[in-house]
Amino acid sequence: MAAITDMVDLSIENGIAVLTIDNPPVNALSQGVRQGIKEGIEQCLSDDAVEAVVLICAGRTFIAGADITEFGGPPKEPGLHETLDTMENAAKPIIAAIHGTALGGGLETALCCHFRICDGGARFGLPEVNLGLLPGAGGTQRLPRIVGVDQALVMMTSGAQIGSAEALQHGLVAEIVEGSLREAAVAFARKVMDEGRPLLRIRDLDDKLQPARDNPGMFDDFRRAIARKARGFLAPEYNIRCIEAAVNLPFDEGMAVERELFTELMAGPQSTAQQYFFFSEREAAKIPDVPRDTPERPVGKVGVIGAGTMGGGISMNFANIGLPVTIVETSQEALDRGLGIIRKNYESTAAKGRITADDVETRCGLISGSLALDDLADCDLIIEAVFENLEIKKEVFGKLDAIARPGAILASNTSALDVNEIASATARPGDVLGLHFFSPANVMKLLEVVRGEATEKDVLKTCMSMAKRIRKVPACVGVCPGFVGNRILFQRQAQGQQLILEGAMPHQVDKVLVDFGLPMGVFQMSDLAGLDIGWSAETSNSETIRDVLCEQGRRGQKTAAGYYDYDEKRNPSPSPEVEQIILAFSEKAGLQRREVSDEEILERCLYPMINEGAKILEEGIAIRASDIDVIWVYGYGWPVYRGGPMHYANSIGLDKVVATLSRYREATGDSAFEPAPLLVKLAEEGGSF
Ligand code: NAD
């Protein structure tokens, strides 16, 4: 083989050239790859001994995308467009031989070959939308021409991948081959030559665009179908506009639309936030003093204590990856109810076609119930999810200490309690940590891995890896009330309460937060969670609005009344009754109600969250600011196109954040607005989180 660059090799056998890309780990389209492809093809075109070219990758995958480290830097020659033009316009057939994943620029490269074949495991996708972008190398114009408009809309607005069978069905590949991909590709190239097949440039295809021309309303139908998921995001809409351009304009004009919209997205705040978040998520997996090679403890069997809301969902995560789980409850009735809900959840997933009926049985079969803690003696990981009560949790951990095998990991799913205190109930605090799942635990991606002061490093490492095995996004946090996520949430909820006393109504506060991009506001969240969490009828004395609502049986969605009234479909509407209660509380507090602007609501809800984040960083409760953002995006639905609360603060400018906090500190006297020292320091230095 002859090296074209240090990332691309060329070899020629019996008239068929093989260009091999080798740029580990994922054969990203780095400068050396682009140059290697371009010069390699040019060499093949000028070499009379070459009849056709196979483009193939070494290692575990075809080109899996652009080299994201080149984003934002000066352009490096040759550009991808130039490289792809050389390929598409080549006078000799180029065959892409695909294994692993052909993603983003990788798929766009394959779309500029004249033929594509793949192995059975190959996957294809244009995930740019997930970085707030669109495929900027012709993918928006070529994909609909080869797979059709419907399929292109789905792939480009979701970023979802398709497998080899679907790729074959949609015409994206010509063949799925078995055995050596390289040999099959060379044989395919030979066949193309022998049969004298014409060179197929996707840009020249038109037949798959026609159905969309015949049905121009399909684009708006599609927009409506994805409206909820795409709310607030620019990139899905821009991807759709590119496909509309592919349908309605000549190829080169469509390319110009793609270029213009790509440039706009690339320069905009959403893709900046989404690219930041892409790296943040990967960074969150790292704990600086727990090296990658820290040994892990084996986890083959899991125990869960409590079959309530959380225990059930937590158990499903492990059964989903084939691990046996034993759930312990205090009564047969609670156990039966918990196991029944798990089955119902699986059955409804099966009804949606996401798993099979066999999967339901397999997974339910992996989860067994028990009324005896002793049955957890052989578990490697035990997660406690009983009532949120420190005394009960300590009692459970005391008993576990006598039952669990040496080396078993003992975790608590507490939302806010002191994990060190819980660990002290055992003689092995090094084996104890918090695993804070979010509700619904089988759905929500976030896992706060709560590091106690004695938690062993191998316990942390094992749990960070385990989180990934069960497809969660872990972030390591320290011990404090509410950890990172809920501690920040408390700030926002407190401001919401204060704002309704001063003059806003719940629906106004919630609307501002939802318009900002959050999935729900302060009061919608309270109603969903239940107003009576942590409330007790015995001690309630009508001291807060919440007390009064609970006393009146307005406990939230579950009682069809909370801050809102709910109809039988759980649609909320503002409650005149609650408004009267709020007005009475304002009066009792001696507050002259006033018009509260949307801007004030937004600032007063969000800035104390940023301020609390700064305190959390100062105290070392979070390892890095970006972990706080990961927690808020995955745990609370902060819109990823705004990066997370800390990224949002950076985008506003920390000096402005400090000035606004100080203004509210002055106006309200509320210490929540006293700017945290770290925030002040960074603002003075002109820095950012
Ligand atoms: P839940 O009331 O739905 O379930 C608790 C279950 O634990 C009940 O079924 C109860 O019978 C059982 N139980 C109580 N004592 C037990 C014991 N000694 N042994 C075995 N089982 C026992 O509560 P939940 O919402 O699932 O919350 C459980 C824990 O998870 C709490 O610490 C809570 O703070 C935390 N958490 C809850 C949420 C949420 O949104 N619900 C989110 C994150 C964390």
Q: What residue owns the CA closest to ligand 1's atom 38?
A: 439
Ligand 1 touching residue 309 (CB < 6 A): yes
The torsion angles phi and psi of 386, rounded to 5 degrees, stand at -90, -170
| Cα atoms in the Cβ-side hemisphere of radius 13 Å centred on 38 | 17
For 184-231, write each residue's pLDDT tens digit: 999 999 999 999 999 999 999 999 999 999 999 999 999 999 999 999
Residue from 387, 412, 636 whose mutation best tests the ligand 1 pocket (most atoms within 8 A of CB): 387
Q: What is the CA radius of gyration of the chain?
A: 29
2 confidence band (pLDDT: 50, 70, 90): confident
Interatomic CA distance for residues 64 and 68, integer angstroms:
11
What contacts 146, CB < 8 A, 6 or more positions away?
Answer: 111, 170, 171, 172, 202, 205, 208
pLDDT at position 68 is: 77
Interatomic CA distance for residues 506 and 512, integer angstroms:
10
Q: Quick check: 71 pLDDT over 80?
A: no
For 484-510, write each residue's pLDDT tens digit: 999 999 999 999 999 999 999 999 999
For 91-139, write each residue's pLDDT tens digit: 999 999 999 999 999 999 999 999 999 999 999 999 999 999 999 999 9
Ligand 1 touching residue 486 (CB < 6 A): no
pLDDT at position 58 is: 98
61 confidence band (pLDDT: 50, 70, 90): very high
Q: Are 681 and 638 in contact (CB under 8 A)?
A: no
pLDDT > 90: percent of the chain? 97
Q: Quick check: 144 pLDDT over 90?
A: yes
Q: Are 587 and 581 in contact (CB under 8 A)?
A: no
- The angle at the Cα of 457, spanning 455 to 459, to the nearest 5 degrees, equals 70
Interval between CA 382 and ligand 1 midpoint (Å) = 14
pLDDT at position 683 is: 98
What ligand 1 atom has the least distance to the C-alpha of 307? 9
Interval between CA 387 and ligand 1 midpoint (Å) = 4
Residue from 335, 415, 636 whose mutation best tests the ligand 1 pocket (most atoms within 8 A of CB): 415
Ligand 1 touching residue 311 (CB < 6 A): yes
Tokens of residue 503, six digits: 């003059």
Interatomic CA distance for residues 461 and 510, integer angstroms:
39
For 534-573, write each residue's pLDDT tens digit: 899 999 999 999 999 999 999 999 999 999 999 999 999 9
Q: Where are the alpha helices (DSSP H) in 181-298?
A: 181-195, 210-214, 218-230, 235-248, 251-267, 269-283
The pTM score is 0.93
What is the C-alpha end-to-end distance of the chain, expressed in Å?
Answer: 49
Q: Quick check: 266 pLDDT over 90?
A: yes
Tokens of residue 222, six digits: 């599609």
Interatomic CA distance for residues 312 and 442, integer angstroms:
8
Q: What would the mean pLDDT of 242-253 be, rounded to a whole number?
A: 98
Structural domains of the chain, with CATH: 2-266 (3.90.226.10), 302-479 (3.40.50.720), 504-588 (1.10.1040.50), 598-684 (1.10.1040.10)
Q: Are 454 and 423 in contact (CB under 8 A)?
A: yes
Q: What would the mean pLDDT of 30-48 be, rounded to a whole number?
A: 97
For 400-459, write each residue's pLDDT tens digit: 999 999 999 999 999 999 999 999 999 999 999 999 999 999 999 999 999 999 999 999
Residue from 316, 335, 386 whose mutation best tests the ligand 1 pocket (most atoms within 8 A of CB): 386
Q: Quick check: 75 pLDDT over 90?
A: no
Q: Quick check: 168 pLDDT over 90?
A: yes
Q: Minimal CA–CA distance to 548: which of 591, 588, 596? A: 588
398 confidence band (pLDDT: 50, 70, 90): very high
Which residues are the active-site residues? 108, 128
CB-CB neighbours of 269 under 10 Å: 15
Q: What would the mean pLDDT of 470-477 be, rounded to a whole number?
A: 98
Chain-wide mean pLDDT for the chain? 97
Q: Are 294 and 156 in contact (CB under 8 A)?
A: no
Ligand 1 touching residue 59 (CB < 6 A): no
Within the chain, how many helices (H) and strands (E) appear?
Answer: 28, 20
Ligand 1 touching residue 151 (CB < 6 A): no
pLDDT at position 70 is: 85
Interval between CA 307 and ligand 1 midpoint (Å) = 7
For 669-685, write each residue's pLDDT tens digit: 999 999 999 999 999 99
The β-bridge partners of 370 are: 328
